[in-house]
Amino acid sequence: MIIQLESSITDEQRDALKAQVSALKYKTNDVKTQKGEYIIGIGKKQFDVRNIGHLPGIKDIHIVSDDFKLVSRKWKVNRTTIDLGDGVLIGNGHFAMMAGPCSIEGEENIQKTIDHLKANDVKIMRGGVYKPRSSPYSFRGMGIDGLKMWHEAAKAAGIKIVTEVMQVSQIAEMYDYVDIFQVGARNTQNFNLLDELGKVDKAVMIKRGISGTIDELLYSAEYVFSGGNENLLLCERGIRTYEKASRNTFDINAIPILKEKTHLPVIADPSHGIGIRDHVEPVALAATVAGADGVIFEIHDKPQEAFSDGQQTLDFEESARLINKMRALTEMSI
């Protein structure tokens, strides 16, 4: 049960309300976000909401049968729009493209990528400065200095930044230089990280776990939302299966299923979803017509020279073609 509170609610009213809910054997959780205040009631037996509905300070009450509550579309039918500022919107009809290298590599690569994005009217750049790597001996990214360099160039060009945060201690140092904090597929159930991102007033994009279920992704989003941050995006990036002809199995089904279950925007990552450069485009187009609110993909001016995973990276010509095709699909009315 979600009880939306009036912004004018007094402390006494809130206490009285919580007491009443507790009396009905429901556990209460206080949630206060950038956009509103809620009490989440968790309990087993249904009761007549009229028992509390008359109390002052309540804006609305919603029965949500899912175990995730605030991210469910069962209480919030209107789709969420993420506003990154400067007119950059994601979701609820605003299709977002996010492109950039796997890893931020240096000034020259940053600038070339930004120029390409500008030329193609793409507003958000992706790139890693903290890289999760299976082996401790691999390059782990340029770190905060790389992020600062990137941010300077991106800001000058009016480009927004999405990049992965790997641990709690990085949040504060990254805060000023990031527009969307990305939670990677290996951290989808890093609950402490999610807790902390709930306290931040910046957009957060959570990738589905390497073999995470759709419901687990929604629960992870519930952590951030209930922690206080409504600015959330979800990202389908392929799941691990027995099939080895592709790096992962992009779960196209997840797009319409997520869109039915949640009001949050859903982004597709075809680069990791298939992991084969020549086939990133068809998967991106498929996700677009299946209802994704955006696509994030890897590009590089010289893919074969890119750090790690050049094999799923588009060059700028391929990128421009894909951007045009996605735009054509989102603009057609079928």
Shortest distance (Å) from residue 94 CB to its own copies? 19
Minimum CB–partner distance for residue 202 and its own copies (Å)? 19
Nearer to its own copies, 141 or 160 (CB): 141
Give Cβ neighbours of residue 303 (< 8 Å, ≥ 6 apart).
277, 310, 311, 313, 314, 315
To its own copies, the closest distance from the beta carbon of 313 in angstroms equals 17
The angle, 0 to 180 degrees and rounded to 10, between the axes of the packed helices 107-119 and 143-157 is 30
* Given 146, 227, 228, 294, the residue binding its own copies (CB under 8 A): 227
**Spatial separation of the C-alpha atoms in residues 88 and 94, rounded to whole Å:** 9
Given 30, 152, 278, 305, the residue binding its own copies (CB under 8 A): 278
Is the distance from CB of 198 to CB of 32 less than 8 angstroms?
Answer: no
Interaction residues for its own copies, span 40-99 (CB under 8 A): 40, 42, 67-69
The Cα–Cα gap between 220 and 206 comes to 8
Please give the Cα distance from 40 to 259 (Å, whole number).
Answer: 22
d(CA 72, CA 221): 10
Q: Which is nearer to its own copies, 33 or 187 (CB)?
A: 187
How far apart, in whole angstroms, are the C-alpha atoms of residue 67 and residue 215? 9
Report the first-to-last Cα separation within the chain, whole angstroms.
Answer: 37
Query: Using the rule CB under 8 A, which residue among 39, 147, 252, 295 binds its own copies?
Result: 252
Closer Cβ to its own copies, 125 or 252, answer by number = 252
Of 11, 50, 121, 137, the one binding its own copies by CB under 8 A: 137
Residue 323 Cβ vs its own copies, minimum distance, rounded to whole Å:
11
Stretch that binds its own copies, among 78-86, 117-125, 278-286, 300-308 (CB under 8 A): 278-286
**Does 240 sit near its own copies (CB under 8 A)?**
yes
Look up tokens 């799941």; give the residue: 239
Smallest distance, Å, CB 52 to its own copies? 18
* Binds its own copies (CB under 8 A): choice among 45, 65, 121, 242: 242
**Of residues 159 and 258, the one with the C-beta less far from its own copies:** 258
188's tokens: 């989808």
Strand (E) or helix (H) holding 127: none
Q: Is 317 in the site for its own copies (CB under 8 A)?
A: no
Which one of 105, 164, 179, 222 is in contact with its own copies (CB under 8 A)? 222
CB 288 within 8 A of CB 250: no
Could you tell me the two tokens for 41? 């009631």
Residue whose CB is less far from its own copies, 77 or 332: 332
Total residues contacting its own copies by CB under 8 A comes to: 77
What's the rounded Cα separation, in Å, for the pair 101 and 308?
Answer: 10
Q: Work out which of 34, 46, 213, 304 binds its own copies, going by CB under 8 A.
A: 213
Q: Does 311 bind its own copies (CB under 8 A)?
A: no
d(CA 65, CA 210): 27
